Amino acid sequence: MSSTSSAPPWDVHRLPRAEGSVFLVTGGNAGIGYFIAEQLAATGATVVLGSRDPARAEAALASIRSRVPDARVRAVRLDLADLSSLSTVAQSLEVSALDAVVHNAGVALDDPPRRETGDGHELMFGTNHLGHFALTGRLMPLLAAAPAARVVTVGSFAAKSERLDLDDLQSRRNYLPKRAYGRSKLAQMHFGLELDRRLRALGSPVASLVVHPGGALDSLTPPRPPVHARSLGTKLRAAPAALLLQGKHAGAWPAVRAVLDPGTHGGQLWGPRHFGLRGTPRQEAVWSHLADSGVAARLWDASRALTDVDPGDL
C-alpha cells in the first residue's frame, strides 16, 4: 500500500473533505460514474458531470442533491465521440483550475455490426479511448493550474485478458464487439500509465492513475430513481453473485480513492481488494502486459495522429 503508517485507514464511508476542489466526472449521469459523482459530492467539492444527454444529467443532479445536502454539482455537455466538440469543454467548465478529471464514460456494444463515430473511428475505441485522450489534452492547462491535479482513468477487468493489435486499432478486421470493448479499455489504461510517465519526465505536478471497478453489476447496485431502479425480485436473484461481485456504488470506490487519497500516486493501478472483483480499494501490481511501455508509446503516437491532440504537450 502507498499510504503512510501515520495515516488513518481508508474508509469508503468516511471520505476526507475536499471543499474548494473541482472535479469533472465523464459519464457522471449513470452507472459507476453516477456513484463516483455522488460520493465526491459528499466531500464538499464542486463536482461537474460530463454528459452528452442533458435530460439524464439533470436527473442525476436531482438525485445527488436529494442525497447530499448542499451538494455543489452541475453538468456540462460532453460528447466524447465528437472530437471537434471537445475544444470548448475547458471553457464551458468556467473554472481557473481543475483538481481532477475522472475518465469514466464509455460505450459497450454487445452485438455487430461494427459502428463508427462521426469522425470515422470505431465507436468504442473512438469514444472510450480517443475521446478521453483528446479531452485530456484540452483540459491540461486547467489541470496544470491546480496544485496537484489528478487524471484518473477508469479501465476494466475485461482488459486483463486482451492485447492490443497495434496494426488494427480500429478493429476493421474480424470485428468482435466484446473483444473490441476490452481492447478499448486496455487502450485507456495504457494511456493513463503512459501519461504519467510523460508527466513525470516533464516535472509536472499533475499525476495520472488507473483504476478498475472489478465486477460491478446493476443488479447489486442500490436504487437511485430515476437514475437507477432495482426491483425486489432482481435483488433476490442477484444475491448469490454478491459472493464474488459487487454493485456499481462499490465499483466507484477505487476511482474515488484515486482522486482523494494523498497516499496514492501517479502510475499506480487500483482495484477491488478481493480477487480484483469486489471489496474496498487497494493498490494492485500493474498487469504485466499493461506495463509494456513500448506498446503504450506506439499507441500514444497513433492516438496523437488520429486526434491531432497531444496531452503531454504542456
Determine the pLDDT at residue 234. 62
Contact 156, 182 (CB under 8 A): yes
pLDDT in tens, 273-294: 999 999 999 999 999 999 999 9
Place of cell 472530437: 83
Q: Supply the DSSP string of 173-234, one letter for each residue.
A: SS--HHHHHHHHHHHHHHHHHHHHHHHHHTT-S-EEEEE---SEEGGGSPPBTTTB---HHH
Q: Which of 133, 157, 181, 300 is catalytic?
A: 181
Known catalytic residue: 34? no
**pTM greater than 0.85:** yes
Q: Quick one: which of 137, 139, 119 has its CA closest to 50? A: 139
Determine the pLDDT at residue 53. 96
Determine the pLDDT at residue 241. 77
Determine the pLDDT at residue 240. 78
Least confident of 33-37, 221-225, 302-306: 221-225
pLDDT in tens, 228-268: 876 656 665 666 777 789 999 999 999 999 999 999 999 99
Determine the pLDDT at residue 4. 46
pLDDT in tens, 23-41: 999 999 999 999 999 999 9
Amino acid present at 149: A
User: Cα–Cα distance between 254 and 154 in angstroms, integer?
Assistant: 9
Q: What are phi and psi of 47, to 5 degrees?
A: -115, 125
Determine the pLDDT at residue 115. 98
User: Cα–Cα distance between 101 and 86 in angstroms, integer?
Assistant: 14
Q: Which residues in 22-49 are b (16+ Cβ under 10 Å) and which e?
A: bbbbbbbbbbbbbbbbbbbbbbbbbbbb
Say whether pLDDT at 3 is over 50.
no
Q: How many CB atoms lie within 10 A of CB 205?
A: 13
Q: C-alpha angle with apex 239: 237 to 245, nearest 5 degrees?
A: 120
User: What percent of the chain clears pLDDT 90, i.e. is strictly above it?
Assistant: 90
* Spatial CB neighbours of 287, under 8 Å, sequence gap ≥ 6: 160, 269
Find the mean pLDDT for residues 88-93. 97
Contact 29, 56 (CB under 8 A): yes
Mean pLDDT over the full length of the chain? 94
Determine the pLDDT at residue 232. 59
Please list the residues that pair with 209 across neighbouring strands.
Answer: 152
Q: C-alpha angle with apex 60: 65 to 245, nearest 5 degrees?
A: 105
